[in-house]
Copies of this chain bind each other. A is one copy, B any other.
C-alpha cells in the first residue's frame, strides 16, 4: 500500500511538472517574466534587459505568454506609440517558483566552479 501511494504521488508530480514545463519551455520565456517582475516594461525596455534577444523572438514569445494569460499588453496612444507589458496575477503567481529557480541557479553555478577548482588542484 505504501509503495502504490508513492507511485501514485510520483505520477501526479510528473503530470503537474510537465504541465508547467510546457508553458515555460524555451530560452526566453522565463527571462521575459523575470524582467517583468521588476516593473511593467515596454518592448524596447525588455530588449535592453535581455541583451541578446532578437525583436523577432521577443515579439513571438510575448504573444505566447499573452495567450497563456501570464502577461498583459496595453497600447498607449502616445506620440510615438508605446506598448506596455505587465504580469497578470497568474504571471505574478510564478514568483515563488522564480525565487527557487534563481536560488538553485546560484547554487548550481557555485557547485560547478568549486568542482572545477578541485579538479585543477588535482592536476597541478
* Chain A residues within 8 Å of B, Cβ to Cβ: 6-7, 9-11, 13-21, 23, 25, 27, 30-31, 34-35, 37-39, 49-50, 69, 90, 93-94, 96-109, 111-112, 115
How distant is the Cα of A16 from the Cα of B13 in the complex, in angstroms?
A: 25
The smallest C-beta distance from A87 to any residue of chain B, in angstroms, reads: 13
The majority secondary structure among interface residues of chain A is: helix
Pick from A18, A35, A39, A109 the residue with the most CB of B within 10 Å.
A18
Copies in the complex: 2
A-B contact list, 24 entries, CB within 8 Å: A6-B39, A7-B38, A10-B49, A13-B34, A13-B38, A14-B49, A14-B50, A16-B101, A16-B103, A16-B109, A17-B31, A17-B34, A18-B31, A20-B108, A25-B25, A69-B111, A69-B112, A93-B104, A93-B108, A96-B100, A97-B97, A97-B101, A97-B103, A97-B104
